[in-house]
Structure 1
Amino acid sequence: MFESLKKKFSRTSDKLEEELKEEAQQENNLDPDEKPQKKRSFFSFGRKKEEPKEEEATEQLALESGEDNSGEEVEESSLLSKETTDSEEITKDKPEEEKKSFFSFGRKKKEEVEEESVEEEADEESAEEDSEEESGDKKSFFSFGRKKSDDDEESSGGFFSFIREKTISEKHVEDTLWELEMGLLEGDVAMEVASEVVDSVKQNLVGKKIKRSNDITEYTFNALRDAVAEIIDIPGKNMTEMIEEKKAQGEPLVVMFVGINGTGKTTTIGKLANYYLKKGYTPVIAASDTFRAGAIEQVNYHADNVGVKLIKHQKGSDPAAVAYDAIEHARAQGKELVLIDTAGRMQTNTNLMDEMKKIKRVANPDLVIFVGDALTGNDATEQAVKFNDAIDVDGVILTKADADSKGGASLSIGYVIKKPILFLGMGQGYDDIMEYDAQWMLNQLFSDDEEEVSESE
């Protein structure tokens, strides 16, 4: 998820580092005597350090204390192996008339072995000298594509420090923040959200004093993370807590779902029915989409699959009446949750929007949830704004979040309408839905370590 935003955040740090390094070179402010250290990557900040495995730690301790004698055994075995190999090669070079019995192969007089080993050592030393002369121009075939060691990375000059401490000024971040803003907009982040992130980063960076390049990376990481944390953490109602509150009053929680066609609204209702059924509640679904052909059959299919009651009328009947009957059924049967499916409609269709207002007026839902497709990016945010203006939604569910590589809708939609994201659709199955967690989202945006992200879930 959100690969493009991760790359954009990382480039912000790299760009600022280039700006400061170039200026320091002009000022002769780079420290040439600084001991090389490994440069930390942007995403390494905030990552948990792995503890060494017990076996590796024991081996390391043994090596440091000088108790490991395995090296002597390896050396002895390698010498024996070398002698055997050498003797076999010598035997192959013997004239045919000097052949001996099967068991005599590889057997030589002590004097012959010593003389030939001296000659071979001289040949090997000569070959090594020749290869050393050519090593500057040639590489082993298998060396291509091989990862550099830490020592190679450190000696590459990636890490640097300043002789005199530098202070980040507005001129240093001007171009960097412009590129960040353009990158966020390309990632389908809403304009006002991109501007808010950039302004927050600017405030956090300008005036910071730095001594080494790792400081730049760390400050940029923290500034971006803090800015995004404020954007995505919108306080709001928790649906499970609301069910408990209504249950204490002897009433069901009534939830109405709105959105345009094709966003996965009906499937999401099936997922939520399954989610709360497994939590021990008894949902009922109202098939209030009486306009679209096949809509009742579609929601009936999901209700049967998860095993919940569906309240439905004939096609073309009053959708508000269906919602009302479902609520009365829940009250009579002591069910805790009513999920009202409505017809998908474009936010520009005034007549259908008025019909949706009527359903809300009759059903008087406790929650109105907008269901948006995360893959549509800015379109999902604009749709949410229109629905919020028309009917005042209380929260958002984003579908297909698992397939969203840009992350624009997830970053923008809650902040723009000032309403929380309640759930994320994470796949095709009924179990593929999760309650939204701002900390989890932050880890998705700022971690390259998949194991760390999965742990935070």
Structure 2
Amino acid sequence: MFQNLSERLEGALKVIKGKHKITEINVAEAVKDVRKALVEADVNYKIAKEITERIKEKALGQKILIAVEPYQLMIKIVEDELAQLMGGQKADLMLTGSPAVVLMAGLQGSGKTTFSAKLANQIKRQGRQVLLVACDVYRPAAIEQLKTLALQIGVDVYSEPENNNPVAIAQNAIQYAKANHKNVVIVDTAGRLAVDEEMMNEIEKIKKAINPCEILFVVDSMTGQDAVNTAKAFNERLDFTGVVLTKLDGDTRGGAALSIRAVVEKPIKFIGTSEKIDGIDVFHPDRMARRILNMGDVVGLVEKAQQAFDEKEAERLNKKLRQNQFDFNDFLSQIQQIKKMGNIKDLMSMVPGMSKMMKDVDIPEDAFKSTEAIIFSMTPKERENPQLLISGNGSGSRRKRIALGSGTSIQEVNALVKQFEEMRKVIKKINAMQNTGKKLGKIFGR
């Protein structure tokens, strides 16, 4: 995500690095390179010019504090301007009405149907009853795709396969939702071109018929500056309430995300981060700015961890760790919790400085596959008592059997067992240090 832009901005700001003061010359040089980086990322030239003029004005107007280097100050100014360009603050989804109706709109292939299911899944987790509505009566198998996705998340779908009138389907769906106590209705519509007058009239009629509290324009961020032009055309007809950027995990230059907010003056509310059903994030302009500048997103990482980790499971594990009883069952549980958080490479990029380090590192989606296979090939007794594989009688033959059962090599099993043992030693040392601290506390307390 934004990898090319991040690298170019870093190169542009290196002009200031090592300087002891900000001058018109080094600021002008840095700003010129920042503007070039933004334009090459497919940001609208006019917007790129405006933002860099503001950066230059702020930089030259700042008094340098002794504790702050010019480079650090410049980074902060660029971060603030990028965040402001993308909206400044996050925009919440306003679900009002009974039921609250969300209308999805966009071009063909932008990912509306998939995103509709992702949004339904997120809203359902908040304790609301959600209904998905299949109003794409033109694309073959569109209704079946929505039903398949809905089945994964346990959400109902309203459809009328024999009805070719999406306006009537949407109206009937609202009545169905009221009768069946659904809090939120998400209406998935057909993809359409802004120049297709008949199709644009149709979605305007749907909007008028169901009076949605939110109209989300879904756009494929890989279409670059064309996405901005399309958003502008749709906004003139629908006056939508927010933008959704899909496929930000792909090979995108990022220009659409940076300039779409400034052009249509509507907030980016969500981003699609993967093809998985939970690959959806609320858009935070300040956090995105930090990630673009390779400063990470620790808050976002913590939030993902909070969503993935079960409180009771964490308490149980904490108790076992304190008692030095961590076993392979616990290790497996932690791997499965981490997998719930999303793509490992994307998670690593949220740690400050890691994005650059992970640039050429290929982390496959199934990175934990062999580790899980090895643990699953252990007997229940071996998982509960790791010592049997570390130094117990017949540990060698046990490891050989596990390698055969998991389809891995004896070397891979040996490496996992060794890593696990090293981890247990570290846990034991931490516990010993904590116990020593408690004893000293009691002594000094007396």
Q: TM-score range by the shorter chain?
A: 0.5 to 0.7
State the structure with more CA Rg.
1
- Asked whether 1:196 is paired with 2:50, we answer yes
Quick check: 1:367–1:394 contact (8 Å CA) kept in 2?
Answer: yes
Q: What is the distance in 1 between the residues matched to 2:64 and 2:106?
A: 49
> Which residue number corresponds to residue 341 of structure 1?
188
Please tell me the root mean square deviation across aligned C-alpha atoms, in Å. Answer: 2.5
> Which residue number corresponds to residue 231 of structure 2?
384
Q: Tell me: CA distance 1:455–1:195, structure 2 relative to 1, closer, same or farther (3 Å).
A: farther
How far did 1:425 drift?
1.0
Q: Tell me: CA distance 1:14–1:289, structure 2 relative to 1, closer, same or farther (3 Å).
A: same
> Which residue number corresponds to residue 33 of structure 2?
179
> Which residue number corresponds to residue 151 of structure 2?
304
How far did 1:316 drift?
5.8
Q: What is the distance in 2 between the residues matched to 1:384 and 1:449?
A: 29
Please show how residues 26-175 of structure 1 align to structure 2 within 5 Å. Answer: 159=18, 161=20, 168-169=23-24, 171-175=25-29
Which amino acid in structure 1 is aligned with residue 36 of structure 2? M
Q: Tell me: CA distance 1:203–1:456, structure 2 relative to 1, closer, same or farther (3 Å).
A: farther
Q: What is the distance in 1 between the residues matched to 2:65 and 2:237?
A: 53
Quick check: 2:132–2:155 contact (8 Å CA) kept in 1?
Answer: yes
Q: What is the distance in 2 between the residues matched to 1:237 and 1:419?
A: 10
How far did 1:229 drift?
1.9
How far did 1:177 drift?
2.3
TM, length-normalised to structure 2 = 0.63
Q: Which ranges in structure 2 are unaligned for 5 or more consecutive residues?
A: 305-446
How far did 1:315 drift?
5.2
Q: What is the distance in 2 between the residues matched to 1:454 and 1:237?
A: 19
Higher relative contact order (Cα pairs below 8 Å, separated by 6+ residues): 1
Quick check: 1:210–1:216 contact (8 Å CA) kept in 2?
Answer: yes
Q: Tell me: CA distance 1:213–1:193, structure 2 relative to 1, closer, same or farther (3 Å).
A: farther
Identity of aligned residues (%): 32
Quick check: 1:234–1:414 contact (8 Å CA) kept in 2?
Answer: no
Quick check: 2:89–2:286 contact (8 Å CA) kept in 1?
Answer: no
TM, length-normalised to structure 1 = 0.61
Which amino acid in structure 2 is aligned with residue 11 of structure 1? G
How far did 1:299 drift?
1.7
How far did 1:331 drift?
1.2
Which amino acid in structure 1 is aligned with residue 86 of structure 2? I
Q: Tell me: CA distance 1:180–1:443, structure 2 relative to 1, closer, same or farther (3 Å).
A: closer
Cα deviation digits, residues 328-353 of structure 1 (max 9, x gap): 11111221100111110112211111
How far did 1:303 drift?
2.2
Q: Tell me: CA distance 1:320–1:396, structure 2 relative to 1, closer, same or farther (3 Å).
A: same
> Which residue number corresponds to residue 7 of structure 2?
7
Q: What is the distance in 1 between the residues matched to 2:296 and 2:83?
A: 19
Q: What is the distance in 2 between the residues matched to 1:440 and 1:275?
A: 20
Q: What is the distance in 2 between the residues matched to 1:336 and 1:381?
A: 32
Quick check: 2:80–2:286 contact (8 Å CA) kept in 1?
Answer: no
Look up the SS of the partner of 2:13 in the other structure.
helix
How far did 1:452 drift?
7.6
Quick check: 2:216–2:241 contact (8 Å CA) kept in 1?
Answer: yes
Quick check: 2:99–2:177 contact (8 Å CA) kept in 1?
Answer: yes
Cα deviation digits, residues 262-321 of structure 1 (max 9, x gap): 111100111111111222111111111112222222222222222222111235611001
> Which residue number corresponds to residue 400 of structure 1?
247
Q: Which ranges in structure 1 are unaligned for 5 or more consecutive residues?
A: 18-158
Quick check: 2:84–2:285 contact (8 Å CA) kept in 1?
Answer: no
Cα deviation digits, residues 355-389 of structure 1 (max 9, x gap): 11111111111111000112222122111111101
